[in-house]
Chains A and B, each alone.
Chain A
Amino acid sequence: AQSVAQPEDQVNVAEGNPLTVKCTYSVSGNPYLFWYVQYPNRGLQFLLKYITGDNLVKGSYGFEAEFNKSQTSFHLKKPSALVSDSALYFCAVRAITGGGNKLTFGTGTQLKVEL
């Protein structure tokens, strides 16, 4: 079964510092990985995805993620955090099913960026 794990419930970082939100995956076959962000009382917004190719994936709002096959990780990064980046972040993996494009989400990481 496909799954992702987000080991940190919360990450605190000072504005201007780099941020990392961790995600590890467990899949059979090729992994198809996604990052989403959710602001309070809002739906999820797509940030980026890894399907194949370059291990460094660039996404929206200055975010990027590094795919590491040997460590089965797909950590989300940003060089310089903003207070407005404070939100709930979900890593997800596409599950293989004949029924459709199904995502399995991690438990989420609350990012808090402080002045």
Chain B
Amino acid sequence: DTEVTQTPKHLVMGMTNKKSLKCEQHMGHRAMYWYKQKAKKPPELMFVYSYEKLSINESVPSRFSPECPNSSLLNLHLHALQPEDSALYLCASSQDGSGVTYNEQFFGPGTRLTVL
């Protein structure tokens, strides 16, 4: 299995809702990432998990809460989002999370989030 899966594909939520995005990989990768991408723009890194521990938080607002239950799963919990948070949320994984290797990242198809 050489892919990263993300669910749901689409999500519409109100500003008071709580929802979660899910990401899964079965490639044995030890680093996992969340990105936010606006239309026609490059992905913006949000969080990095390395060996199931949060290693990078790019000053993301606390209404986004990541969780890595095990080495194959990554969640992003959403609460009290704003309309400007509407975007494509991409998950990625790479083989080695140590920061000293140069492995490419494999991306999932993304979750299209709309906040009303």
Contacts and interface: CB of A to CB of B under 8 A. Distances in A.
B79 interface: no
A88 B108 contact: no
Nearest to A52: B102
Nearest to A43: B107
B101 A101 contact: yes
Interface in A80-113: 88, 90, 94, 97-103, 105-108, 110
Given A32-B102, A43-B90, A45-B107, A99 B42 contact: no
Contact of A46 (B45, B88, B104, B112): B104
Given A44-B90, A99-B48, A101-B31, A34 B43 contact: no
Contacts of B40: 88, 108, 110
A44 B55 CA distance: 22
Contacts of A100: 31, 48, 50, 55-56, 97-99
A105 B110 contact: no
26 contacts: A34-B104, A41-B88, A41-B110, A42-B109, A43-B6, A43-B90, A44-B43, A44-B90, A44-B92, A44-B105, A45-B107, A49-B104, A90-B42, A90-B43, A97-B56, A98-B99, A99-B55, A100-B50, A100-B55, A101-B48, A101-B94, A101-B105, A105-B43, A106-B42, A107-B41, A107-B42
